[in-house]
Amino acid sequence: MDRLYTNYMAPRYQDNELFSAFKYTELKGFDYNDGDGTLSRRDPSKIIKENGKYYIWYTKRATVQPPVGYSNAHLATEVIPSTDWDLSDIWYAASKDGIHWEEQGVAIARPKKPALGWRSLSTTDILKWEGKYYQYFQAYNEPSGTKGDHCPVVAAYEDSPDGPWTIVDKEIIPNGEPETWDQYSIHDPYPLVYNGKVYIYYKAAYGDRPNYLVGAGVAIADSPLGPFKKHPLNPLFNSGHETALFPFKEGIAALVLRDGNENSTIQYAPDGINFDIAAVSALMPFAAGAYVPDAFDSNGNGRGITWGVSHFIGRQGENIGKTRKYSFLARFDCDLSLDLHDPEMKKSRLYFHPDVYFQRKLSKKQMKRITGEE
């Protein structure tokens, strides 16, 4: 009972500004080769609005065949991908309503070997700073799965969201020292302007798949290209995969899902550093790229979010993890905003057709264990 009144913004979830359910809408304007696994779009950036249009950037893979799989990275070639984010480039699209999108083309193409990212570019996010635009993304020089999912973060900059973008061929946030939590990779860079500085939140996994732990931390700089200094309290999160963040009141809020004991939570830090659980939700968006109008304002009065774009993996559950694996973009809506009051988004009881539950059926091995059949 003490937690109810001290840990949350309101004792009733219906009154909690940092609780929301999520609703999803299919996007118009994107083709996926009939879902044959050769075309994928995933990991959307946060959304910005310029010149009356919404802009979004994302990882796009267009290959001759579907990925061979993380554990089969040794079978990947210069045209056959190992994973869904291998052999990818950064593309972008524009929209007037957030539902109908028009793909604008490649924004940042893989550079020539041996430049950082010659193998693949993925998981970008956007920053606007003093009239210029910056992107931060993962840069691979080997097929993902060869030694894990190891890669550094690289940046690009331009005067216009339409490019052309200039790649900075250096590590923007270096990997950690040996035996530290982020020694192998800096993933999912997510920039915000906070306290007049550039904060890049990022994810790292320590240990080997599938027995690894995921954490997230932050690196801070006075300017977009650094130098960035990692915060001494890193990692700030003990859970999460593609963590999305946004200014909220005087601090920073985060959508934390997948990987870890605190998955499917919405967390908040009044100082942008010390996060605590503010709400627990369900069906949260994977790799959320929200429309965050005040992402770069740094005015200590964050208003929150109401919608964005996320990705789904595979059109049907039975395709997940199989040769037809691919990702597609979708819109999500929510009420995590101080300026919106939508009671429909505050409902926590979710009812589904029984077939949704029966998709989570026992495996053949589990059925044999229960029935005793060999």
Q: Which residues, in sequence order, are CB contacts of 194 under 8 Å at separation 6+?
A: 247, 252, 272, 298
Q: What is the pLDDT of residues 108-162, one digit of tens each?
A: 999 999 999 999 999 999 999 999 999 999 999 999 988 878 888 999 999 999 9
Query: To which H or E segment does residue 171 belong?
Result: strand 166-173
**Does some domain include residue 338?**
yes
What per-residue confidence (pLDDT) applies to 246? Answer: 98
pLDDT (mean) for 41-46: 97
Confidence of residue 322 (pLDDT cuts 50, 70, 90): low
- Residue given tokens 């044959």 in the structure block: 36
Q: What is the pLDDT of residues 166-214, one digit of tens each?
A: 999 899 998 899 889 998 888 999 999 999 999 999 999 876 666 678 8
| Number of other residues whose CB lies within 10 A of the CB of residue 263 | 15
What per-residue confidence (pLDDT) applies to 324? Answer: 59
- Structurally, the chain folds into a number of domains equal to 1
Q: What is the pLDDT of residues 272-299, one digit of tens each?
A: 999 999 999 999 999 999 999 999 998 8
What per-residue confidence (pLDDT) applies to 185? Answer: 83
Share of the chain above pLDDT 70, in %: 96
Alpha-helix residue ranges (DSSP H) falling in the chain: 2-6, 354-358, 364-371
pLDDT (mean) for 258-272: 94
**Does some domain include residue 9?**
no
What per-residue confidence (pLDDT) applies to 294? Answer: 97
| Number of other residues whose CB lies within 10 A of the CB of residue 71 | 10
**Does some domain include residue 260?**
yes
Confidence of residue 332 (pLDDT cuts 50, 70, 90): very high
**Does some domain include residue 152?**
yes
pLDDT (mean) for 45-50: 97
Q: What is the pLDDT of residues 14-32, one digit of tens each?
A: 999 999 999 999 999 999 9
**Does some domain include residue 12?**
no
**Does some domain include residue 5?**
no
What per-residue confidence (pLDDT) applies to 315? Answer: 55
- Domain CATH number, residue 117: 2.115.10.20
**Does some domain include residue 306?**
yes
- List the domain range (segments joined by +) for residue 252: 19-371
**252: amino acid identity, one letter:** I
Dist CA 246 CA 255 (whole Å): 9
What per-residue confidence (pLDDT) applies to 149? Answer: 84
Q: What is the pTM of this model?
A: 0.94
Q: Which residues, in sequence order, are CB contacts of 351 under 8 Å at separation 6+?
A: none
Q: What is the pLDDT of residues 51-78, one digit of tens each?
A: 999 999 999 999 999 999 888 999 999 9
**Does some domain include residue 186?**
yes
